Amino acid sequence: MSMAEIKKFVVAYVKTMRPYYSFITGIAGWIGVSFYLWLKEVRYATPITNDDYLRGVVVLIILFSSWGVNQIFNDWLGLPEDRVNAPNRPMVSGELNVKWALTTSFTLMGIAAIVSYFLNPWSLIPLFAGFLLNFVYNYSKAWGIWANVVFGLMISTCTVYGFLAIGPILNEPFFTTNRYSTILLVAYMNGLMTYFTYFKDYEGDKAAGKNTFIVRHGVERAKMLGIFGSFMPTILFFALRYMNYFPFAITEHFVYCGVMTIFLQLWTAIRFYRNPVGPRAYFSNATNFRACACGQVTMIAIFNGTLALYLYSATYVFIGFLFGLHDDDKS
């Protein structure tokens, strides 16, 4: 392969990774990392070392790149609908060599698995679970709303991975109501995010026989459900608090991030209600992705409020910047 071919491949591969999505998996996993470090420092009164920070950086690199690496498989499996929805995507247009792309992603997944094994062998469980759920997800789009459930579960494995990969198993119960609650909220926010992305894919999903909720029940009913769904993360949070499943100290950092996220979630639903199809639906996804990722940052505020404020700003800005580099609604 010549240098020109390598450059062309790398550009097409990175474009297919859609870097703005990296904050979805990255921040989901960062919740687990922050929780682990909080437990170590606060509950076990053990100082955080440079080794902890180094492990954290390695884990976050894997998490932030995991979406893009798996997106190659996602695009490969979704070629029939992408030929209608996104004919300018590199894999559809022929700009990206499919064989090389799949080989590269398999290789990177293998490297991630080896590194994860040395970090903590238990972290391989959520790593492979997320990988397998990515394949299940592509077929689950024929199952209506269950596709969104599968997607939410897939991203929640990143939270579990972040917690397990950064350090050894701590001497305490692994399955607790507050951990279930965190995973449930992460899963719901991501399921809601991908629900809105289906609006721009309506025509292609319909042509390819992908029976998503929007295809099955129509755009009008779906956009009404979107308004209702945008309130559900808040309702779910308060329900879990009321049942004492999710007890923690409410700080000003959490309140600020939470209120801003509620606005972003509602604004997302309103944008798709007003323009559920066409180019405007595509560009509304910048708000959609911000609402999801920033909602996950709100969970980090439970353990590290200052970090959450920095992450909230960075997440909002960089998702907008990276999404702006992909201004073709057919790619």
Q: In the 3-class helix/strand/coil scheme, how is the chain assigned residue by residue?
A: CCHHHHHHHHHHHHHHHCHHHHHHHHHHHHHHHHHHHHHHHHHCCCCCCHHHHHHHHHHHHHHHHHHHHHHHHHHHHCHHHHHHHCCCCHHHHCCCCHHHHHHHHHHHHHHHHHHHHHHCHHHHHHHHHHHHHHHHHHHHHHHCCHHHHHHHHHHHHHHHHHHHHCCCCCCCCCCCHHHHHHHHHHHHHHHHHHHHHHHHCHHHHHHCCCCCHHHHHCHHHHHHHHHHHHHHHHHHHHHHHHCCCCCCCCCHHHHHHHHHHHHHHHHHHHHHHHCCCCHHHHHCHHHHHHHHHHHHHHHHCCCCHHHHHHHHHHHHHHHHHHHHCCCCCCC
pLDDT over 90 (residue 295): yes
- pLDDT tens readout for residues 93-105: 999 999 999 999 9
**For residue 307, how many other CB atoms are within 10 A of its CB?**
16
- pLDDT tens readout for residues 172-202: 777 889 999 999 999 999 999 999 999 988 8
pLDDT over 90 (residue 142): no
pLDDT band at 2 (very low <50, low <70, confident <90, very high): confident
Instruction: Pick the range with the lowest mean pLDDT from 24-33, 103-112, 140-149, 255-264.
Output: 140-149
pLDDT band at 294 (very low <50, low <70, confident <90, very high): very high
pLDDT for res 52: 93
pLDDT for res 59: 98
Dihedral sign of CA atoms 34, 20, 82, 113 in order: negative
pLDDT band at 262 (very low <50, low <70, confident <90, very high): very high
Terminal CA-CA length for the chain = 26
Measured at the alpha carbon of residue 278, what is the angle toward residues 272 and 282, in degrees to the nearest 5? 60
Helix pair angle (252-274, 305-324), 10° resolution: 20
pLDDT over 80 (residue 71): yes
Largest CA distance in the chain: 62
| The token pair that represents 94 in the structure block | 């022929």
pLDDT over 70 (residue 48): yes
pLDDT band at 326 (very low <50, low <70, confident <90, very high): confident
pLDDT for res 307: 97
Average pLDDT, the chain: 93
Most confident by average pLDDT, 83-92, 210-219, 288-297:
288-297
Q: Where are the domains of the chain?
A: 16-324
pLDDT for res 1: 66
147 and 212 Cβ atoms separated by less than 8 Å: yes
Residue 119 to residue 111: CA distance in whole angstroms? 12
Alpha-carbon Rg for the chain in angstroms: 19
pLDDT over 70 (residue 80): yes
